[in-house]
Structures are given as structure tokens and as C-alpha cells.
A and B are shown apart, each in its own frame.
Chain A
């Protein structure tokens, strides 16, 4: 079934892109930290999962449940300890973006060095849920479906949280007007740390999920960070639904071109789409131009 094949491939690839970008959009959009070490955290989580699964005989789903709070905690700590001095110094103004880029750039090399020391430069991989699931006569790997489901659940769940709850409203206030949010009694720094932490939880979960079907190496973080950045900017910084839509758009564009035109053009189409969106909507699909 050609149509089902293309639909499934587009959805699963797009879901993966959305998943790896959601954490970044929270960290950058709300906490205003342009986290360059994002990819390394993702890969670190993948390595942690590999270790737990192959050495300690954990079930990858159990690792996923553990990696979410661990990712939250670690990122929250990074924010409180490493980023807080920068936030204070810059008063969360535009200087924070530059400072955080420099700081997380350093963090990138530190984390990568640790991974290289611990695991060397080799590729790592294990198999989990790579059984076929039959959907309307098309086979798709179960692990990819899990990723898609997870991305959709997180995307919609967090979207509802942000638009329907008090905490979400406060977070959005911080994202839109960090300087005026304190006027209505919002503790900006506390909320930023929470957003950064939630972003970290998403990265950690994403790393665990990716390790189920993608081979990874200690130096691959930047590949994922680049992809995530494209999706984040395309979807509109700080917008989870935008992430989901932009990720799916890229996934579908790649799949359609690979199947009907030429697989050699997938990268070109990706970036053409990216440019087109930036030309028509400079702030991203769901972004607001003025802040």
C-alpha cells in the first residue's frame, strides 16, 4: 500500500524530529538559554540507556521512566548552578543569549569529552521493539511508532498544560514578556528553571527513545542539535505545537521526495522548506513577530 507506506514513514520520521526539538524549544523559548550542548545531553541519555539495557538488563521502557525525572533534575541543576550567575548578570536581557551560547558551548565539549573517555569513539546500538507492526498492509517498526506516539502525547499534553493551566499561563507570560512578568507576581527565575528542567526531561526521554532504533556515537550530538534547531526555528521559538507541525512537515517532505523524486534531494528539500517558511513567516509557523 503505497499511500499507507508514505503516511507511516512521514509520520514516524516527523514525530522523531518533533520529539528531539521539543526540549530545545522550551529551553530556548522560555528559559532563554540557547543550549548548544543539547545534542550531547541527548546522546548522553542514549548511552545511559544503552548501558542500562545491555549491562544491567533493564527494560528500555523502565529506562525511559527513569530518564525523564533524571533529565529534569540534571537540567534543573545545570540551570540553578551554571546558568543562574549568567541570568543574574545579564538581568535576563539580550546579553543572556550570547552568554548562554558561550557557556553551553563549553559544556558541549565537557560532556563530549566525558562520553569519549567512558565509551570511546565507536558506534553503539542495541535492538528493542524492532518487530514489524502491520497497519493496513504496511509494516512499520514498533519502536518508531512508540516515538511517534510519545511525540504526539508530549506535544499535545504540554500544549494543553501551557494553554489551560495556571502554571502554563505563567510560563507563557515569561516566554512572551520576561521583564513584565514579575509585575503580576510571577517568579521568573523559578519558572525559567522549571522550563529548562522540563526541556531537559524531554531531551533525556528523546535520547532513550532514539537509542531504540538509531545507532549513535559520542560525537553525534551536533547532528541532532542542528536538526532540532531547524525544527524549533521553523515552528516558532517556544511553541510546542509549532515543533510538532514543523517536525511533521519536514518528515513528510523528506519521505515524499525520497519516494517520488529522488532520495538524493531530501536534504535540499528540507532546507528549501526551511527557507520558504522563514521568508513567509520570519518568526516561524506559530511564532509571534513582536515580543
Chain B
């Protein structure tokens, strides 16, 4: 098992121990005499290999690294006593397997005896490890889980927090937003939808399917495809022939790239072009350049907000890569909240959970208090505009941009 601990852990250990050594020499007298821990042990088990690895590498791990780096650079988390306590990391690879993730979490609790555990990536894995977090009373800050069951789960697991909303939320918000645009005469009623036959596509596709008719749209195409389908051109050719006003794909990153590529090749340019996870990734813009303009998806950011800009800059500096424009900022605010909760109540898991549930936190997305232990401020719909993926709905939120409809034509 020891071999699985990566060298990141070792380097984090080194940094942490160096920091604590420096601290010990600096603050030898009175601080050392005070009660309280001399380090906070943080554990995580995320997918460094397997099909979930790209999601982890894009959204989760850079944030975790940045968080540890910033805390330890400042000398540690400042507890109520005024003492700064550095963070030490224990890391495992869950190899994209739920069983492995559960085992690793058990191990973090019982053998490594970490103080807090940061969550894995993705809806499925978060739900899989939920009972284990619950059993041991560890707060679960599920920042990358989109699930319709979130409102029920927070009742069942008093230490669980959900940050990325429900499939229903995204589906309903998208279709009701489109209804406004239809009433404004910008689009017609024909909607074509394709979704990946996996958690994300099933949830969001199901949610959208239910409300399409209610908002006065007609679903002219509605099919699912298996995960890992390498050629989506037959579906897109068929959809193009139906000439829909609105195209929606609840897709995963490789499909999102493939769909966009193929739409460009066959000149399929509906008034609303919406693709799923991956649209918000820096990779998407790198690949398609100016052609991203007008593409819609879930998530978004207020790119003019100085706090968001500062976060983007730090992320780039420390990890060498840009964050995505959907879940990355949300993962970051969940970490900010955890840190502030520890600062307020100390290394006491029950008290931290209580503080997370009831406290107000100062984040890069403003002053926020969770509602029923769920993050209340999400961008449901976003759109690439002027090289940035900006939030467009909810339309009454500060920083919301009006959408560009119809989408501009593909450039060669």
C-alpha cells in the first residue's frame, strides 16, 4: 500500500515539515506552550489514473494543491488561539473506482487518522463515498457532484454539503431561459437533444425532457449514446437534417470536443448551440479558438469580477494551468469555506460541520451562506463571449451577460 502514496505526498510532507520546523524555531517560547495541534492532517483520495483522471486533473487536484500551497506559504491555518498550524497531506489514487475510493477513505480515517478529508471528483464517486464520510462523521464538501438527490441526501447525511446543484436545476433553468428568448422572437420551437448514457447525461437529459413541453418547445430529436462513442457524426448529420432552432448535448469532454468539431465540419450552426462538460475547459478554447464564441453550456463565471480574476491568476501561477469555468471556482470556494470554518472553530469535525451549515463565508464569489447545506449561487447557463465563458442565467444575478443569439457562424 505504501507504494501508492505518491511523491506529491512526500513533497507536501517535506514542505509541511520544513514550514513547521521554521515555525517552531521562530515561535519557540509562548506559542509552543499553548494547547492545540501542531499540524492539521488533510487527506484525499482522487483519481490520478483511469477514466476520471482528466476530470481530477482539470478541476480538482490543481485547486487542492493551490490551497495547500497558499496555506503553508502563510505559515498555516490560523486557529482561534492565534497560532498558525501548517497543513500536511496524505494522498491516494482511487484509480477511478468507487470501491477503491471507499477503501482509501476508510484508510485515511482509521490508519492515517487525518483531520479532514477532501472529496473525490464526480457525482458517482461522491455518492459512493458519502456513507463512509457519514459513518465516521467527516464533513463531505461535494463540490463536483451534480445530483437531483442532493436535497434528500443532506437530510440523510448531516455532514454532507452539495455545491454543484441538481440536474433538474440546470435543465429547468436552461429551458426556461430559452423560453424567454423564444418569446422575444429570437428562436423557434424546435429543440434537438442528445445525451450521454451515463449519470450526467441521464440526470440532465431527464430533467430537460420533462420541462421542454411545459415551456412551449417541441423535442424533434432526443437520443442517448454510450460513453466513449468515438464517432458522433451519424447523430449530428441526422440532427442537422431536422434543422432545429436549439441544439442541446449533455455530453462528456471527449464527446463535447467531437460534437463541436463535427458540427463545424458539416456546417451545422443552429441559433442556440449548447454542449456539456468540457465546454468550460481551457482546452476547448485552445482547440477551437474564435469558434467558441456563442457556444453555450452549464456553468460560467463573472469574468469582470476582480476576486475571480485574482483566483484565476493564482491558479495559473501555482499550477501552471488555467482553471475550468464551471466547477473549478466552486471547488475553490468550498476549500475557502472549510479553511474559514476551521479558523473559527478549530480542528473539531462536528463543530466545523455546524459552522459550514450555518455560517456566512467570505469567498471569491461573494459573501455566501449555504441554504439547506447546498451552494445557492450557481451559474445555470453560460456562453463563450469575447474569449471568456460568461454566466448568462440566472439573468438577475450580478454580472450576468445577455446571451448572443443567434450564435455566430463557424469560421473556417
> CB of B312 within 8 A of chain A?
no
Q: Mark A207-231, 1 if CB is under 8 A from B, else 0.
A: 0000001110111000100000000
**A225–B264 Cα gap in the complex (Å)?**
29
Contact of B238 among A121, A127, A259 (CB under 8 A): A259
Task: Say whether A263 contacts B229, CB under 8 Å.
Answer: yes
Contact A12:B231 (CB < 8 A) given known A116-B49, A126-B287: yes
Q: How far is B56's CA from A223's CA once the two chains are assembled, in angstroms?
A: 19
B30 within 8 A of A: no
Which residues of A are found within 8 Å of B283, using beta-carbon distances? Answer: 122-125, 215
Do the beta carbons of B223 and A6 come within 8 Å of each other? no
Q: Is the CB of B230 within 8 A of A16?
A: yes
Cβ-closest chain A residue relative to B7: A117
A5 in the interface (beta carbon within 8 A)? yes
Give CA–CA (A120, B49) in the complex, Å: 9
A131/B53 contact (C-beta < 8 A), A123-B253, A214-B254, A259-B234 known? no
B281 to chain A, nearest CB (A): 8
Q: A132-B265, A140-B265 are in contact. Are A258 and B54 (CB under 8 A)?
A: no
Which of B57, B234, B253, B265 sits near A130, CB closer than 8 Å? B265
Q: Give chain B nearest CB distance to A95 CB in angstroms.
A: 29
Q: Is the C-beta of A254 less than 8 angstroms from some C-beta in chain B? A: yes
B58 is an interface residue with CB less than 8 A from chain A: yes
Which residue of B has the minimal Cβ distance to A123? B54
A218 and B225 CA atoms in complex are apart in Å by: 24
Q: Which residues of B194-242 have CB atoms within 8 Å of chain A's CB atoms?
A: 194, 197, 223-226, 228-235, 237-238, 241
Q: In the complex, are the beta carbons of B223 and A262 less than 8 A apart?
A: yes
Q: Contact at B51–A219, with CB atoms within 8 Å?
A: yes
Query: Is B23 among interface residues, defined by CB-CB distance under 8 A?
Result: no
Candidates A2, A12, A130, A219; contact of B53 at CB < 8 Å = A219
B241 / chain A contacts, CB cutoff of 8 Å: 2
Q: Is the CB of B197 within 8 A of A254?
A: no
Q: Is the Cβ of B234 less than 8 Å from the Cβ of A141?
A: no
Min Cβ gap B248→A in Å is 15
Say yes or no for A255: interface residue by CB 8 A criterion. Answer: yes
Contact in complex: A122, B54 (CB < 8 Å): yes
B90-105 CB mask vs A (1 if < 8 Å, else 0) is: 0000000000000000
Known contacts A121-B57, A123-B254, A214-B254; A266 and B229 CB within 8 A of each other: yes
In the complex, per-residue mask of A1-44: 1 if CB is within 8 Å of any chain B CB, else 0: 01001100100110010000000000000000000000000000
Out of A12, A121, A132, A258, name the residue touching B235 (CB < 8 Å): A258
User: Is B64 interfacial (CB 8 A cutoff)?
Assistant: no
Chain B CB within 8 A of A169 CB: no
Q: How far is the CB of B377 from chain A (nearest CB, A)?
A: 27
Write the nearest CB–CB distance from A272 to chain B, whole angstroms.
Answer: 14
**Most B CB within 10 A of own CB, among A215, A217, A218, A259:** A215
Determine how close the nearest CB of chain B comes to the CB of A266; give it in whole angstroms: 6
Contact B234 A121 (CB under 8 A): no
Contacts of A6 in B (CB 8 A): 234
Contacts of B266 in A (CB 8 A): 132, 139
| Residues of B close to A139: CB separation below 8 A | 265-267
Q: Does B82 contact A (CB under 8 A)?
A: no
**How many Å lie between the Cα of A255 and that of B235 in the bound state?**
9
Is A267 an interface residue, CB under 8 A from the partner?
A: yes
Question: Is the Cβ of A131 less than 8 Å from the Cβ of B412?
Answer: yes
- The CA of A234 and the CA of B95, in the complex, are separated in Å by 30
Contacts of A262 in B (CB 8 A): 223
* CB-defined contacts of A126 to chain B, threshold 8 Å: 286-287
B234 to chain A, nearest CB (A): 4
Chain B nearest Cβ from A195, distance in angstroms: 28
**Which size bracket describes the interface of A in this complex?**
35 or more
> Does A264 touch B at the CB level, under 8 Å?
yes
The answer to whether A254 and B223 have CB atoms under 8 Å apart is no
Task: Select the residue from B235, B241, B261, B321 with max chain A CB neighbours within 10 A.
Answer: B261
Shortest Cβ distance from A280 into chain B, in angstroms? Answer: 25
On chain B, the residues within 8 Å of A131 by CB distance are 265, 412
Interface centre among B50, B53, B54, B231 (most CB of A within 10 A): B231
Contact with A along B37-61 (1 / 0, CB 8 A): 0000000000111110110111000
Note all chain A residues with C-beta closer than 8 A to B237: 5, 9, 138, 259
Q: Within 8 Å CB of A219, what residues of B?
A: 49-51, 53-54
Is A112 part of the contact surface with B, judged by Cβ < 8 Å? yes
Residues in A with CB closer than 8 Å to B57 are: 120-122
Query: Does B235 contact A218, Cβ atoms closer than 8 Å?
Result: no
Report the minimal beta-carbon distance from A265 to chain B, rounded to whole angstroms.
9
| A140 surroundings in chain B (CB, below 8 A) | 233, 265
Q: Does B257 lie at the interface of the complex (its beta carbon under 8 Å from any beta carbon of A)? A: yes
Interface status of B67 (Cβ within 8 A of chain A): no
Q: Specify which chain A residues have a CB less than 8 angstroms from the CB of B265 in the assembled complex.
A: 130-132, 139-141
Chain A hits for B232, CB < 8 A = 263
Whether the pair B226, A13 counts as a contact (CB closer than 8 A) is no
| Binary contact track A99-127/B, C-beta < 8 Å → 1, others 0 | 00000000000001000100011111111
Alpha-carbon distance between A217 and B58 when the two chains are bound, in angstroms:
12
* CB atoms of B264 and A263 under 8 A apart: no
Residues of B within 8 A of A223 (CB): 228
Q: A132-B267, A141-B262, A259-B234 are in contact. Are A215 and B254 (CB under 8 A)?
A: yes
Can you show 13 pairs from A to B with CB atoms below 8 A apart?
Answer: A6-B234, A120-B57, A121-B54, A121-B57, A124-B283, A127-B261, A131-B265, A217-B54, A219-B50, A259-B234, A259-B237, A263-B226, A264-B197
Can you add 9 more A-B contacts, CB < 8 Å, to A121-B57, A266-B226? A6-B234, A120-B57, A121-B54, A127-B287, A139-B266, A215-B257, A215-B258, A219-B49, A223-B228
